[in-house]
Amino acid sequence: MQLVSYRTDHHARGGILAGGAILDLAACFAWHEHQAGRPCDRHHVRDRFGDGVLGFVENVAVARPAADAIAKAHAEKKLPASFDGMQLSLEAKSATLLSPIPRPPSMRDGYAFRQHVLTARRNRGLEMIPEFDQFPVFYFTNHQAVIGPGALRVRKMHLERLDFELEAAVVVGKEGANLSVREADEAIFGLMIMNDWSARALQMEEMKLSLGPAKGKDFATGLGPYLVTLDELAARSKKTPKGLVFDLEMRGLVNGTRVSTGNVKDMTFTFAEILSRVSYGVDVYPGDVIGSGTCGTGCFLELNGSKITQNQWLMPGDSVDLEIDGLGRLSNTIVAA
């Protein structure tokens, strides 16, 4: 199942992407409850299913069976056009897509692709750090600065070596702490594309103080275009002692030219291993987002350093399209604020 957040006016709503249509979650859940003989008022629906895609994730035990029934009714042309004055579906092209979870409860980003780490360090004249292979690392990033497809509005200092980063991300589906790798796999709700936008001049300056990226990263993280539930990726995933491995090709295009190619299966640490580390001694919650880190060749910092590109950075008017098999295409255009 593919879940989206969208708007047709100034209100953000959750939906199920079904071909060229979006099935509105709140309206369809109300119709479903009416069909089941239960109360279908707005308060009941919100109490039972939560609000939007995040509410779906938080209440997946009841939301998923209902959503499956709704999607089946739509496929069989048994879903009405409206219910109780609410439109149940709309053409996807008439909506503006947002990040699937516009404001995640928290957001962390990993560092799981060895090729990216090795190349980036080599380009700076550094040996590969041996600690990389000992445990997965991550940093917290700004969960209040999430964008979906569309314009990325940046200020002057962001444009000093503005970069993209091609990543995948998982969304946590259940609360837990101290998760084993097996438990971590079971706690993953689904996957989506992540673009860890980076202002490299700011980042390199502040990291001299040994505290990690802050202003170089906190202005935007791209997520989307939709959140894909784990069951939909079963044919592209493999169970291993380290956790699920996803065979999903990754591509990055700037102004229509491919500059990046990778595969989610090349992560040195699986999402389960990262989530297990994340949950050590702390609780994770439904809707928390955890990125993979950049794949090899997945940013200009690495490409420029390897002389694959020649001091190329993003400028106003540039388009960035990130694609991952099964997860769609996340498209953004740089706009000077």
Per-residue pLDDT reduced to its tens digit, 144-188? 999 999 999 999 999 999 999 999 999 999 999 999 999 999 999
Q: In this structure, what are the phi and psi dihedrals at residue 263, rounded to the nearest 5 degrees?
A: -150, 135
Q: In this predicted structure, what is the pLDDT of residue 10?
A: 83
Looking at residues 310-326, what average pLDDT do you find? 98
The residue with tokens 């169970």 is 239
Reduced 3-state DSSP string for 212-248:
CCCCCCCCCEEEEEEEEEHHHHHHHEECCCCCCEECC
pTM of the model: 0.96
Compute the average pLDDT of residues 239-258. 98
Q: What is the pLDDT of residue 122?
A: 85
Closest-CA residue to 84 (of 53, 49, 42): 42
What rounded mean pLDDT belongs to the chain? 96
Q: Distance between CA 278 and CA 290 in Å, rounded?
A: 9
What CA–CA distance (Å, rounded) separates 293 from 316?
Answer: 25
Q: What is the pLDDT of residues 37-56, one digit of tens each?
A: 999 999 999 999 999 999 99
**pLDDT at position 211:** 86
Question: Quick one: DSSP state of residue 314?
Answer: B
Q: pLDDT tier at 131 (50, 70, 90 boundaries)?
A: confident
Question: Given a cut of 90, is residue 130 above it in pLDDT?
Answer: no
Per-residue pLDDT band at 9 (split at 50, 70, 90): confident
The pLDDT of residue 76:
97
